[in-house]
Structure 1
């Protein structure tokens, strides 16, 4: 039951924070939700239980979703721990996956080994995108080996055999956006 009370408190805080971030009074939110200002005040302060039929217009008025208002306040996903893949010479931090739109994954990858030879390059449906945060990344794209320096980005068809690595014996760090197929191909499981 404590978990329910904690979520209830968190939803109330979110409603109030979203309302005040927009500079709205209770009257302004009431006008947009067709709920009374006193009802909204009691909802925000805990004087009244929040009902689902109230959450829908409140979420809509605050330009969010009921899911976002009810999202767990659990801090488990705050710290992102790296995953090491010694065989590939990579360390990755997955920044978004289950919550990202269209099944996309955002990850930071530290590359320490050169791009593998063409016979070890992979293919998968879709397109990959990355930007180099530090160092120089090697992009093996078919028969070509492209050098992508810090601050530059690359986007390419993943049906061409491709692989990433670090250039010149110096680690490189990249930020990637991957489809579900790209996630399976490039990130440790």
Structure 2
């Protein structure tokens, strides 16, 4: 429990400052002296419910908002997907509203069949050359180039040349279903 209370002062200071209040402002509103608030924020005074209730009431937050919560592991741990020689590495959690992938297209890849779906896609070429067929346009994107397009336009991508093409691709949930979930098998 002491570990959970360790950051109460830091969080309290952050909330107070986000309101634009000085120690005196919060002291006047909560009835807790400015010196007590200062000691509480610096960790020199132990937090107690008797102190926290009037303070949190004035700040418009709950006592629980000041107590350390378990920080979830931010690492993305999802299996790599291989489909038709393309390596797809998820870079965002499955529950994310925006899906991000690192995709490696094999060299001399055949351009797959053009597809359409709702949404939009953004791609950034990390290495190699990417052939992007977008409607009637046949584009070659090189390292450092990006493209954003409406995925209702028929589109497909593959590596151009004898080297793999690596890209970062970002799309919405519909795009994720079309690009990585349909007929994909996992390693």
Task: Tell me the TM-score normalized by structure 2.
Answer: 0.64
Residue 114 (structure 2) pairs with residue 116 (structure 1): no
Gaps of 5+ in 2: none
Matches within 5 A, 1:1-189: 5=1, 8-9=4-5, 12=8, 15=11, 28=22, 31=25, 36=32, 37=34, 38-39=36-37, 41-42=39-40, 45=43, 47-48=47-48, 54=56, 57=59, 72-75=70-73, 77-80=74-77, 83-95=80-92, 98=95, 103-112=97-106, 114=109, 116-117=111-112, 120-188=113-181
Supply the RMSD in Å over aligned alpha carbons. 4.0
Q: CA deviation at 1:164?
A: 2.0
Structure 1 counterpart SS, 2:103: strand
Contact 1:138 1:167 in 2 (8 A): yes
Q: Choose between structure 1 and 2: higher helix proportion.
A: 1
How many residue pairs end up in the alignment?
Answer: 165
TM-score (norm. length: structure 1): 0.63
Per the alignment, in what secondary structure is the counterpart of residue 187 of structure 1? helix
Distance 2:158 2:38 in 1: 55
Question: Residue 158 of structure 1: CA displacement?
Answer: 0.6
SS in 2 for 1:175: strand
Change (3 A) 1:132 1:29: farther
Q: Deviations over 1:130-177 (max 9, x none)?
A: 111111111122343311111111111111121222211311221222
